[in-house]
Amino acid sequence: MEKCKLIQVESPEKGAEKFYQLIKEELEHNRLHVLGLATGSTMIPVYKKLTESELDFSDVTTFNLDEYVGLPASSPNSYAYFMNEHLFNKKTFKETNIPDGTAENLEEECKRYEQALQDAKLDIQLLGVGENGHIAFNEPGTPKDSVTHVAQLTDSTLGVNSQYFENDEKIPNTALTMGIASIMSAKKLVLLAFGEKKRPAIEKVLEGKIDPDWTITYLLEHGNVTIITDLEF
């Protein structure tokens, strides 16, 4: 079992720069056709760097990790809105995919999304991490063999994420999310973690043991994981 590669940077902006360099190299070597994307405040400097760059994504298809149930792309609190605002309105991609949290049949939507993902095959999946160690919306206890599913959000996640909610919209307590197996199917995983609140999650990974209560630790089984962080250990 190979350990994760840890890259320590001075700031989120420097972390974004590292990610940009990594993506640039993959594009130059014609190794990046399908890119998994993430949301959250961590990703803002990353998408800023990418949109300000010369990189050409017109041959790249993207898949986002997750979306709240019930929020349409027109809601400023949806992940679709976030992606349009920070990346998709500014850079051209071949195709972009986000699970549809407004689908009438959510189970069917999860199946459709997982199939599309497996057909496309992720080259790189970008990840953030929740304070409780969740990746995408794979909350503590999510099994290793999980694929795209409807997730029940924990009180911890609802508390943390609700601070970003605008216009008095109530945070949904469910979301559609890629599962652990969906994420692990990517050839390469790059996780970004900035700030002290993420220290416990990264420490869990560094301990080197799989703990289903910290779903980030499943990454230890992958073999091609880079963690970019401003934390010192």
Tell me if 161 contacts ligand GLP by CB under 6 A: yes
- 161 or 182: CB nearest ligand GLP: 161
Q: Which two tokens stand for residue 110?
A: 């999860």
Tokens 């050409």 belong to which residue? 56
132 labelled catalytic: yes
Of 11-19, 38-46, 211-219, 221-229, which part binds ligand GLP (CB under 6 A)? 38-46
- 62 or 161: CB nearest ligand GLP: 161
Min separation Cβ 56 and ligand GLP, Å: 26
Written as one string, the DSSP assignment of the chain is -PPPEEEE-SSHHHHHHHHHHHHHHHHHTT--SEEEE--STTHHHHHHHHHHS----TT-EEEESEEETT--TTSTTSHHHHHIIIIITTS--SEEE---TT-SSHHHHHHHHHHHHHHH--SEEEE---TTS-BTTB-TT--TT--SEEEEPPHHHHHHHHTT--TTPPPPSEEEE--HHHHHTSSEEEEEE-SGGGHHHHHHHHHT---TTSGGGGGGGTS-EEEEES---
Of 47-55, 89-97, 127-135, 179-187, which part binds ligand GLP (CB under 6 A)? 127-135
64 labelled catalytic: no
222 labelled catalytic: no
Min separation Cβ 59 and ligand GLP, Å: 25
Min separation Cβ 140 and ligand GLP, Å: 13
Tell me if 35 contacts ligand GLP by CB under 6 A: no
66 labelled catalytic: yes
Tell me if 186 contacts ligand GLP by CB under 6 A: no
Number of residues located near ligand GLP, criterion CB under 6 A: 14
Min separation Cβ 161 and ligand GLP, Å: 5
Cβ-proximal residues to 153 (8 Å cutoff; 6+ apart), any chain: 137, 139, 161, 171, 172, 173, 174, 175
Tell me if 223 contacts ligand GLP by CB under 6 A: no
Tell me if 132 contacts ligand GLP by CB under 6 A: no
From 134, 149, 161, 222, the catalytic residue: 134
* Interface positions with ligand GLP (CB under 6 A): 38-42, 65-66, 128-130, 136-137, 157, 161
**Residues taking part in catalysis:** 66, 132, 134, 139
